[in-house]
Structure 1
Amino acid sequence: MSTDLLAAIEAQSTVEDKKRSPFVAEVLELLLASPMGEQLRENAQKHRRSLVHELESNLVLFNEHIPTARIVELAEASQRHPDQMLVRLILLGLRVYERAIARMEADIEGSNELS
């Protein structure tokens, strides 16, 4: 274990007022034994990637591509937690996207019938 990793574990466990071993066990349990961890493992296997690579891909998605500051602002304005706001926005986006695709397909079908 690198000294940087050990220092990060020590710092975070101190912030959370936990000893190192229970903190590490909690993180590993989330990563390996929780439903979320199971999904990560399944996705890693499906995409033929390591678990670390799959986790990194998920973190990159949320840290680089999703405007988290804006989501926090919207959550505060609507008195929601940021995770609730993110789910709401994704579901709303899917609904809008699916309707737009259905309209495009209907337009294509309509123009084919006129030909």
Structure 2
Amino acid sequence: MSHEAGDGEAEDQERAGAGPHVPAQRDGGPRQSGLSERDLSVLAVERRGWSGPGMKERAIREQLEMSPTRYYQLLNALLDDPRALAHDPVTVNRLRRRREAQRARR
């Protein structure tokens, strides 16, 4: 997974729905949000709409280079991270509500 700093094309592709690409910072250091590039990529995947079954899992494997199981472990931890909430409150709150609804059904 290659990320080019300052590459406007990658940002255009993400807006067009081409993938959850998150450009790296020029210095490679921690981002202003305090979240890692991997954490930001996980949140970006969750912001996307998925058209069919298996598409999200395929994107997780191909774009994030991890298993869906590991992805969901990381995502669950992010939902409890105040930095993730500060970075993307709409996505994190939506996922928290979904998680609580699933827990209530059990």
Is the structural similarity TM-score above 0.5? no
TM-score (norm 1): 0.27
Which structure is larger by alpha-carbon Rg, 1 or 2? Answer: 1
Structure with the larger helix share: 1
TM-score (norm 2): 0.29
